[in-house]
């Protein structure tokens, strides 16, 4: 290939990556501001989450069917025993993570939500070490100090701080750590066949709905049944408007999962991690300009400190994964070399035995 061909190939690949990142940002940033906007007029976040789960289940089911028709391959469908035994815990953690995150929008700003939710990395590390998906290394302590210190600086004497909302989103971050650790275990089980995120989404949604429904009944059921927003509506136009508003969030929720999958499939998980870091910067800038979130210099320093910890974690994780892959390749080369030596020795042994037999015959 000529230099021009290489340059053209690089431009095409870079352009595709940028377009996929923008596509991911549209859904990821869009659903954050959309949910915050909805919570200002519809004070039932758990019910809203249930609507999103139902729509994601339907849309993922349609997507699975279309893919199956296009490829001619049957889609994965787990039997009841492995489904309840292996998927239930992941579904419950995911449902509570999303539900409490949406609930927190009732009390806190987008800036505080974004900052606090970024601490999920700490809990993911914690549970990854417990489940032995990650080794305890010294640099992890630096990451923990940077992220925790950044959160403290961001929330210290914040003018728009709300304790209830902060606790809700912090619990959601904790559950997010469990969620993504269990999801990693779930998708890495080859015998389940849930490597495709669309299949994973399809199987998670029903149990997520069932797990979150009791919280909805306890916290919002009676209030919503007496609300004029839905069940006791006076005007059909107002009801249809609210249904379309809730459905819009469902499409955004499905689009977010799909865009994440597409970005990882066409680029890498590293691209998604880096894009996630810059996404949080975009969210904070947009929140301060569009939503009127008030951020002091200390808040911004805390945010930068937290992002430094997340960036360090991503960079070192890539470094260690590359080193481990090199070690794996070296082990494979070593094993191949040993097998070749062993084969050669066996052949020589066989030739020696044959020559000895010939001598005995003669």
Residues 6 or more apart in contact with residue 196 via CB below 8 angstroms? 76
What is the tens place of the pLDDT at every residue in 22-60? Answer: 888 899 888 888 988 888 888 888 999 999 999 999 998
Query: Mean per-residue pLDDT for 219-238?
Result: 78
User: What's the rounded Cα separation, in Å, for the pair 91 and 77?
Assistant: 16
Q: Would you give the DSSP letter of residue 133?
A: S
Condensed to tens digits (0 to 9), the pLDDT of residues 327-352 reads 444 344 344 333 443 444 434 444 44
Q: What is the mean pLDDT of residues 197-201?
A: 80
Average of pLDDT values for 242-269? Answer: 80
250 burial (CB, 10 Å; 0-12 / 13-18 / 19+) is buried
The answer to which of 34-38, 245-249, 357-361 has the lowest mean pLDDT is: 357-361
CA 307 to chain centre: 17
> How distant, in Å, are the alpha carbons of 100, 245, 281 from that of 46?
8, 15, 27
Q: What is the mean pLDDT of the chain?
A: 76
Indicate the pLDDT class of residue 307, thresholds 50, 70 and 90.
Answer: confident
Q: What pLDDT shows up at residue 213?
A: 92
Q: What is the pLDDT of residue 349?
A: 46
> Which phi and psi (to 5°) does residue 133 adopt?
-90, -15
The residue ranges of every structural domain in the chain are 16-361
């Amino acid at each position: 290939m000529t230099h021009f061909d290489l340059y053209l190939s690089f431009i095409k690949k870079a352009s595709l990556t940028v377009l996929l990142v923008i596509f991911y940002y549209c859904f990821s940033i869009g659903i954050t501001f959309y949910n915050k906007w909805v919570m200002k007029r519809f004070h039932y976040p758990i019910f809203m989450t249930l609507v999103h789960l139902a729509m994601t289940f339907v849309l993922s089911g349609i997507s699975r069917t279309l893919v199956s028709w296009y490829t001619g391959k049957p889609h994965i469908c787990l039997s009841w025993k492995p489904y309840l035994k292996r998927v239930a815990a992941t579904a419950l953690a995911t449902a509570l993570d999303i539900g409490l995150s949406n609930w927190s929008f009732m009390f806190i700003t987008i800036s505080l939500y974004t900052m606090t939710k970024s601490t999920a990395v700490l809990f993911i590390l914690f549970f990854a070490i417990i489940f032995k998906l990650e080794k305890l290394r010294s640099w992890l302590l630096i990451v923990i100090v940077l992220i925790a210190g950044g959160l403290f600086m961001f929330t210290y004497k914040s003018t728009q701080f709300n304790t209830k909302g902060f606790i809700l989103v912090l619990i959601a971050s904790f559950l997010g750590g469990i969620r993504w650790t269990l999801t990693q275990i779930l998708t890495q089980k080859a015998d389940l066949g849930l490597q495709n995120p669309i299949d994973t989404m399809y199987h998670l949604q029903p149990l997520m709905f069932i797990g979150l429904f009791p919280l909805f009944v306890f916290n919002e059921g009676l209030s919503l049944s007496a609300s004029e927003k839905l069940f006791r509506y006076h005007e059909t136009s107002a009801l249809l408007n609210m249904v379309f508003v809730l459905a819009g969030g469902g499409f955004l929720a499905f689009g977010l999962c799909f865009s994440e999958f597409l970005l990882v499939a066409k680029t890498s998980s590293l691209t998604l991690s880096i894009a996630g870091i810059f996404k949080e910067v975009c969210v904070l800038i947009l929140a301060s300009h569009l939503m009127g979130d008030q951020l002091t210099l200390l808040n911004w320093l805390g945010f930068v400190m937290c992002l430094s910890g997340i960036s360090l974690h991503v960079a070192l994780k890539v470094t260690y994964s590359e080193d481990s892959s090199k070690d794996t390749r070296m082990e494979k080369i070593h094993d191949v070399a040993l097998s070749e030596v062993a084969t050669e020795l066996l052949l020589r042994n066989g030739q020696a035995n044959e020559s000895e037999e010939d001598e005995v015959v003669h």
